[in-house]
Structure 1
Amino acid sequence: MNGLIRLAVGTVVLAVSVAAGAQALYQDESAPVDARVADLLGRLTTEEKVGLLRATSPAIPRLGIDKYYHGNEALHGVVRPGRFTVFPQAVGLAATWNTDLELV
């Protein structure tokens, strides 16, 4: 119930802000994170939400969201265009059965 109340309050704040022409709640860094997230999710279409799940996410200009590439993962490290770090896959090293294998 508490979550519903917070969401309702966030919706009311959003409606008042939009009516007053004020800054969007999700852009207000002093607002609580959960309220900002709820506000942004309420503004995104289903297609935009799905698009943001991809490694290469498109820009959403109407909300001021730039395109981005977040090719990071725990096993390999940071994988982005340009200079980056890639760690070898553990399963690949284990499959060699080469005990003399050295990583450079």
Structure 2
Amino acid sequence: MENEKYIELRRDVLISIQRALWGMIYPSIRAIAVGFEETKKLTVIYYLDKEPEDEDYENISEVTGEVCSDIDFSTVEELCIYTNQPFSELDNLVSWVYIRKEE
């Protein structure tokens, strides 16, 4: 992807997911990472402090649905992962879009 087009898409993805996350963050989310491969694939990872439940998958689907209403991605990968690993050891894909303050 040309650098200028990549920068534009990155900006659009980050703005879109930030808007999509308004009111969607809840206490068990430790961090959220987003990645993309041109407009072929959008990946969003919720890192949780508990085992994922149906509500977590419903929430992430709402968020990715909002992003896909702004940007036409061909496929979407939604991951909800339970982990206590430090943020420095987690995959942030293209960018973190949320990190909870932890002591």
Q: Tell which has more relative contact order, 1 or 2 (C-alpha 8 A, sep 6+).
A: 2
- Normalised to the residue count of structure 1, the TM-score between the two structures is 0.27
More strand by share: 2
- Larger of the two Rg values belongs to structure: 1
- Normalised to the residue count of structure 2, the TM-score between the two structures is 0.27
More helix by share: 1
